[in-house]
Amino acid sequence: MPAIIAQRSVALSKRAAKRVWLHAQRLDEHAPFGEGPQATAAAVAHLGYVQIDTINVIERCHHHILFTRIPAYRREHLRQAQTIDKTVFEYWTHALSYLPTRDMRFYTGAMKRDWRRRSVWFTAVKERDIRRVLARIRRDGALTIRDIDDDVLVEKDHAWASRKPSKRALQLAFYKGSVTISQRTGMLKTYELTNRHFGWERLPKPASKRETLDYLLDRALRAQGVVSLESVCYLGPESKAPMRRVIEARVKRRELLPVALEGAGKLEQWARPEPLEAVLDGAGDIVHILSPFDPLVNQRKRLRLFFDYEHRFEAYVPRDKRIFGYFALPVLVGDEIVAAIDLKTDREREKLLLQQWTWLTKSARRERKRQIEEELHRFERFQLAR
């Protein structure tokens, strides 16, 4: 028997497991991070990352995720955290995300190594292209791709590549850590020299591989409560073998306990003792309209295991094969996902359009419909706020 499961597992009902995860995600209370600009930095620090995506059917997901946990959230709060206070920065996790600046050293190693994995994007980038664009930023200050109009366009070597060599050079300089995104206007990125933006002489010294594994595990435990190898190493399968050894060591020291989750079969999961011993009252009747990219939703298998709900992102599914709608959003009431609602923001007419409402449960629909409609009105006000 592997050492990792030699210790007796703690039995955990699905209801209790949901409460642990919802508490870890801070979805079981109102305004868990307070309000004002500091709440945004606190939310990113607790969650570990907030995913960025360009889809603009409703509010973009990074604003949506923060609004879900900060009722008084304003878009300018994220701008202040990124551009003024510099408490968050952008880099790649499983996707492009906002990250706490305090965690930069866990990414500087990736800046030296992992950009090579994206070589398909950068095969046409020459070292002279990078030197030229860095020299321009050093001389003239931060810039956007729109500020560059002297490019000789080249043929694309990848469907999502740019024909502007300077844009490719900026992107590669970003992945290498030479430049950072100092602000966003919508999705238009402003690039600045990383050290100049943060006032550093050099990038923080990269964390060791062991320190990075500990960081990834601690981040998952903080934001998930109960973890598996899959949830800790999401979209990073190369980390599973060394991560297993880290978990084994913590189990041996009784810092982690094996968890036998109801309905999970032989899937190995672990948690710290504290959340398993805590008395959690649950989320009551709090309503959250969740982004498809919310940390509670983006790991689809985990969501199905805990909530018996399989989310479908149908924006790329043919219309006749859609079930929940083009941009369906899961609706969480308390500790149940009770509906999926397909929404679209009509910015010209200043309305939030309800395209489709799909109930997933049969109980107390009338009462829940009233609660959800109240949250939809609040969500609409946020969508349309200038």
182-222 tens-digit pLDDT: 999 988 999 999 999 999 999 999 999 999 999 999 999 99
Please tell me the predicted confidence (pLDDT) of residue 154.
61
More confident: 168 or 235: 235
Per the CB < 8 A criterion, the answer to whether 78 and 181 are in contact is no
Q: Which amino acid is at 4?
A: I
Give pLDDT tens digits for 305-351. 999 999 999 999 999 999 999 999 999 999 999 999 999 999 999 99
The pTM is what? 0.93
- The ranges assigned to domains in the chain are 105-198, 287-384
Q: What pLDDT score does 5 carry?
A: 46
> How many whole angstroms separate alpha carbon 337 and alpha carbon 289?
10
Instruction: Express each pLDDT in 361-379 by its tens digit.
Output: 887 788 899 999 999 999 9
The span from the CA of 269 to the CA of 262, in Å, is 11
